[in-house]
Structure 1
Amino acid sequence: MHRSILAGMIPLLLLLAIGEAKAHAFLDHAEPRVGNTVATAPREVTLWFTQKLEPAFCTITVTDSAGQRIDTGKVRVGGNQMSVALRPGGSGTYHVTWRVLSVDTHTTDGSFSFQVGK
């Protein structure tokens, strides 16, 4: 009897674990792409996530090789996409740092870089 109860609970526990893993907005892809090299400085950075985002609690910061902030600070969020315009910049390594709150109230954050020029 105990084995049948345990055998019935294992699939339920697996489903709950999978559901919890999907309950966060993870970075799906970005433009410019993570780690990519682009010929000229982009006008904006756009990020796509695995879940819809809560606009009031999402941020992106972009800095250049000197550590100077080059984003305008005006983040646009729609659905699972977030973007920010950039001021004109030069070549070098750009660093993107983000923090999001998905509509299911879970926060995630991360960072990546891409190269401009060369």
Structure 2
Amino acid sequence: YLTIALLTGVTTLYLAAAAMAHSPLSKSMPADGETVSSTPAELQLQFRGEAKLVKLSLSQDGTDIPLGDSHLMQIATQHVVALPALSAGSFEVRWRALSADGHVIKGNFDFTVGE
């Protein structure tokens, strides 16, 4: 039983360390599901560790809103992107990054302007 308990403990620690190593998104501004009264000046993505942002898109009702690409391919824990003026409505942010250990991580979140 001791061997099984040790193997279970080691496996649990390994999986937890692997999950943390992938630098998931820990915070965004605007936050997921947040409603803001007017266009935020910028979009912020905060990762738990360094990550290279390789793709970032913003869309409203399926229509892409250009963000440029100067923010891409930089390695940082926080990525900040200036936003153009946005009309009222719901927006979806999709991102893809490479974590420090080389794994692809991706996600999305939504926010609303002025409703």
TM-score higher than 0.5: yes
RMSD between aligned alpha carbons? 2.0
Shift of 1:39: 0.6
Confirm or deny that 1:58 pairs with 2:54.
yes
Q: 1:106 aligns with which of 91, 103, 106?
A: 103
One-letter amino acid matched to 2:36: V
Per the alignment, residue 74 of structure 1 pairs with 70
Per the alignment, residue 35 of structure 2 pairs with 37
CA contact (8 A) 2:86 2:113 kept: no
Q: 1:17 aligns with which of 15, 18, 32?
A: 15
How many residues matched? Answer: 114
Radius of gyration: which is bigger?
1
Q: Does the residue aligned with 1:72 lie in a helix, a strand or coil?
A: coil
Of Structure 1 and Structure 2, the greater strand share is in 2
Q: Return the TM-score normalized by structure 1.
A: 0.81
Shift of 1:78: 5.3
Q: Show CA shifts across 1:12-53 (max 9, x none).
A: 222222222222121111101111100111222111111211
Counting aligned pairs with the same residue, the percent is 27
Q: Show CA shifts across 1:82-110 (max 9, x none).
A: 12222222111111000011111111111
Unmatched tracts of structure 1, length 5 or more? none
Q: Show CA shifts across 1:55-102 (max 9, x none).
A: xx5221112346131423321645311122222221111110000111
Q: Return the TM-score normalized by structure 2.
A: 0.83
